[in-house]
Amino acid sequence: MRTNLEQTLVNKICDWDKAKQLVDTWKQEGKKVVFTNGVFDLLHIGHITYMAKAADEGDKLIIGLNSDSSVKRIKGETRPVNDQNSRAAILAALFFVDAIVIFEEDTPLNLISALLPNVLIKGADYTIDNIVGAKEVIANGGEVKTITFVEGYSSTSIIERIRKQNQPG
């Protein structure tokens, strides 16, 4: 039997249809829906800061989460460190995240096109003209914003640091 907290976490992890229903309901209620996406493999302060800033851009935050197969194609065979179900559960535990949707493709274009959030957020390492889904969101009357990363934090750098610490010699 699940506790209320466990059920709340499970309910935040959505398939595409449920996510679309949520977005439609939220928009009908006059809520501003924000979307961002990523791998979020080893959650660190850079991720938390980024997602908290994204959440501040609206009323509801949806995270598009790369599936394990998508991460392997993008980051290589040794990634992800944590499987998609674990990554989704950890994101669901964040109070400012309202929904998590796993996508299989290398980019979230199809997911963004299906959900059409009011605000699409990416890191400031992107420009609006190379953000996947930007054209679709803007064409639907939404906006696209970038958020500056916290310097010095990335899952890749954490993994490299762990590997160096564990090398013999």
pLDDT digits (tens, 9 = 90+) for 91-126: 999 999 999 999 999 999 999 999 999 999 998 888
The CATH code of the domain that includes 127 is: 3.40.50.620
Angstrom distance (rounded) from CA 59 to CA 19: 15
pLDDT, tens digit, for every residue of 131-159? 999 999 999 999 999 998 766 666 666 66
The residue segments making up the domain with residue 145 are 4-165
Overall domain count for the chain: 1
pLDDT, tens digit, for every residue of 50-72? 999 999 999 999 999 999 999 99
Q: What is the dihedral of CA 133, 10, 153, 127, to 10 degrees?
A: 10
If one counts every other C-beta atom within 10 angstroms of the C-beta of residue 16, the result is 14
Residue with tokens 């590997």: 163
Angstrom distance (rounded) from CA 24 to CA 124: 28
Angstrom distance (rounded) from CA 34 to CA 54: 7
